[in-house]
Amino acid sequence: VADLAMGEPKQVRPKQVRLVQPAIPQNEKWNREKRPAHLQRLIELSSGTLPIPQLVIWPETAFAGLLGAERELFTKTVASALPYDGLLVTGVPRRHSRFLLLNSAVLVQPDGEIRESYDKQRLVPFGEYFPFRDLFPFATAIVGPMDYRHGTSRTPFTLQHYGLVQPLICYEVIFPGIVSQTEPRPDILVNLTNDAWFGGTPGPYQHLEQARMRAVEEGIPLLRVANTGVSAGFDAYGRTLARIDMDQAGFVDVNVPDPLAPTFYAIWGETLLSIGLLLLAVRTINLDRKRSLRQ
């Protein structure tokens, strides 16, 4: 039955994507002196083998500088990495206000022009923001005044030949129900992450498997691009299309199949689970009442 259910996803048109994993150590990631070398690595991995797919994807905060403050460097880097008709999806921090940043994914043209952007909605407590900062004024002296601000919209990027591409940043991918029921259904899910934080723990592999589950739940191919961790492409059944292992710098070109029709979970979500729990609660209450009457 499983073999019959898990056929080959239909491929209406070829959709090749290059996933780039620079494998930059966490203790070097935000070192300004090493930034030129880090950007050069991204350029070389992106453009090293011809032909370059029209869509290239870099990981979370691949450009480790504030976009507004270092726009010229960003534009020069993108122009060196992409073909004339190419597009880049990359992670980049942006400034929202004086003390608020955004952890963003942007869709960029070869001239550095940002066509679309997505801001991370589920932030990591104590990592990206300090909860209830107003109640703990002393915290600013310890962790500094800056926080990340959560995004408010989950609208997919629109790419010719690729369809609708929904970015998910870091651990956003571990949460079920990531596809909005009020927005158009995406053709591809893209998870940008940096799993160097985990070090030598099982964390990167657990994160990878949780990302795979989202592809299966929604019936949508998922591309996972890590600074270091495990970068991989999955089809709509969760089968691995390509992979770059932990701590390996490299790139891989993935032929992305089309999504499936909305799955049972995509349509119903947690509704049946909620109904089941409600029925179980009612049944338990009835049994308790019967025992009380007998006594």
- Which residue numbers are catalytic? 60, 120, 170
**Is residue 91 a contact partner of residue 61, using CB atoms and an 8 Å limit?**
yes
In the numeric block, the tokens 């029209």 are attached to 54
Give dist(CA 294, CA 102) in Å, integer.
Answer: 62
Sequence-separated contacts (24+) of 6-14 with Cβ below 8 Å = 6/237, 6/239, 8/257, 9/221, 9/235, 9/236, 9/237, 9/257, 9/258, 9/259, 9/260, 10/257, 10/258, 11/255, 11/257, 11/258, 12/258, 13/161, 14/255
